[in-house]
Amino acid sequence: DVSAWDIERENPLYLPQSKVYTGCCALGPLLVTTDELANPYDLLLACTIIRDGQSRFRGEASTARLHRKFENLVEYLLRANQVPAGSVLLTGTGIIVTEDAALAAGDRVTISSPAIGELSNPAVMVG
């Protein structure tokens, strides 16, 4: 996801508000469910930010570092909530982009995993 850092840093309680803007969560063009993966707890994930043709940032994380299992997260969420079919559960940030690589209009952000594929989108200024 893409967070509005200025809102998030103003007060930690504003975290949810920093993630509700148009275009702040790119998904697709397809989704892979955990049952389609050999081991959903052994996925390498990478984030790359390209600016003006140059790599501005690259970070990696692994689902092996998750603190909770997907099954437990879903179970907890469904305990007291009606969740529509097709909902997507996001697990949090495993790759922290450095402040000097904060997104600017025209950047290209690529999220990739050898086991799943690649999602690449331009950063655009909205509003």
pLDDT tens digits, residue range 83-111? 998 888 888 778 989 888 999 999 999 99
CB 49 within 8 A of CB 57: yes
Query: For the domain that residue 99 is a member of, what is the CATH number?
Result: 3.90.850.10
In a domain, 7, yes or no: no
In the chain, the percentage of residues whose pLDDT exceeds 70 is 99
Is the pLDDT at 5 greater than 90? The verdict is no
Beta-carbon contacts of residue 42 (< 8 Å; ≥ 6 apart): 62, 63, 64
Domain of residue 85, residue span:
28-122
Confidence of residue 4 (pLDDT cuts 50, 70, 90): confident
Number of domains in the chain: 1
Buried b (16+ CB within 10 A) or exposed e, 66-103: beeeeeebeeeeeeeeeeeeeeeeeeeeeeebeeebeb
Confidence of residue 34 (pLDDT cuts 50, 70, 90): confident
Upstream peptide bond of 114 is cis (omega within 30 degrees of 0): no
Is the pLDDT at 69 greater than 90? The verdict is yes
In a domain, 33, yes or no: yes
In a domain, 19, yes or no: no
In a domain, 78, yes or no: yes
Q: Enter the pTM of the model.
A: 0.84
